[in-house]
Amino acid sequence: MEIPAESGGAEQPGGHADSSATGATGPEHAELISSIAALSHLSTGRLTLPDILTEVAHLAVQAIPGADGAGLTLTENDRSDTIVATAPFVREVDSIQYDLREGPCISAAKERLTMRSGSLGGEQRWPKFGPRVGRLGVHSVLSLPLLAADESFGAMNVYAHRRDAFDDNAARIGELFASPAAIAVQNAQILQQAKRLAAGLQAAASSRAMIDQALGIIRSRSGCSSDEAYERLRTMSQNRNTKLVVVAKTLVDEAVRRAIARHTA
């Protein structure tokens, strides 16, 4: 039996959920609040992006009733980029999905809507994906888009082995959790990009400094101009089929060795 697929999301001010909004009470409500609170304590400075995504997936399993495992997928240029999972069966299911280019995660990210099914083996929306994962004993899925400014940059996939594992209440809880989860994931993604940019700028600056030192050595030895020194360095790079900065470093290291030898002779 197929469960209705789409349901609207809701975000609470300040990232907090209350029982009237989620329809959850008691332990379920406590798990949701606990998981949302844990999102805000993720240390993006100490953890890598895959580590943070994996932790978010574990918190999703904790927050959403009926979940046996979860995974997160970030997309870039309509391709699955970073993929994490809380359990081997989740990774296997998601691998099938991306190999077939069909499934709830792909649909959720593309349509920016929650996708839900309680009988994947007979699911008509994903006729290739559903039967294959049904044979693995995975029958229920709740896929939630990760949204920022109404743009989807991935999806969170929650799976269960039993049929009809996710009711309307589980879907509401999942959507409430997905909103702050998307913020945590995007913050981690932005931080990683900033670190990558900073590392690239630092490497570029180091390379430029090394090349400038090599040009100075060439000029001191030959008395040529800056342009002539650069042309000589470029020719050496081409003849050796080696990057310019590598040739420059070789020249600088050689000059340092000669200077040390002269002082110790």
Note the pLDDT tens digit of each residue in 174-220. Answer: 999 999 999 888 887 777 666 667 777 777 778 888 888 888 888 88
- And the tokens for 69? 């495992």
The answer to whether residues 71 and 136 belong to one domain is: yes
Residues 45, 106 within the same domain = yes
Three-state SS sequence of 88-148: HHHHHHHHHHHHHCCCHHHHHHHHCCCEEECCHHHCCCCCCHHHHHHHCCCCEEEEEEEEE
Q: What is the pLDDT of residue 155?
A: 93
Asked whether residue 43 is assigned to any structural domain, the reply reads yes
17, 74: one domain? yes
The last residue of a domain, from among 144, 171, 195 = 195
Higher-scoring residue by pLDDT: 62, 208: 62
Residue closest to 57 by CA, chosen among 70, 39, 67: 70
Q: Residue 2 pLDDT > 50, yes or no?
A: no
Phi, psi of 86 (to 5 degrees): -90, -15
Owning domain of residue 238:
201-264
Predicted pLDDT at 32: 85
What are the C-alpha distances in Å from 255 to residues 9, 26, 209, 225?
A: 65, 73, 15, 19
Buried-state track 229-246, b at ≥16 Cβ within 10 A, e below 16: bbebbeebbeeeeeebbe
52-63: average pLDDT: 93
Q: What is residue 150's predicted lDDT score, i.e. its pLDDT?
A: 75
**Can you read off the two tokens belonging to residue 72?**
């997160």
Instruction: State whether 22 and 138 are in the same domain.
Output: yes
Measured between alpha carbons, how far is residue 9 from residues 171, 186, 249 in Å?
Answer: 9, 18, 56
**Is there a single domain that holds both residue 221 and residue 180?**
no
How does pLDDT run across 114-146, given as a tens digit for each residue?
Answer: 999 999 999 999 999 999 999 999 999 999 999
For residues 57 and 178, state if they share a domain.
yes
Give yes or no: residues 217 and 170 share one domain: no
pLDDT in tens, 10-30: 333 333 344 444 444 566 678
Look at the chain and report how many structural domains it folds into.
Answer: 2
Q: Is residue 143 part of a domain?
A: yes
Determine what percent of the chain is predicted with pLDDT higher than 90.
Answer: 40
Chain-centre distance for alpha carbon 53:
7
Q: What mean pLDDT is reported for the chain?
A: 83
Residue 259: pLDDT band with limits 50, 70, 90: confident
| pTM as predicted | 0.65
| 52 shares its domain with 178 | yes
Band (pLDDT 50/70/90 cuts) for residue 4 is very low
Confirm whether 6 is domain-assigned.
Answer: no
The pLDDT of residue 243 is above 70: yes
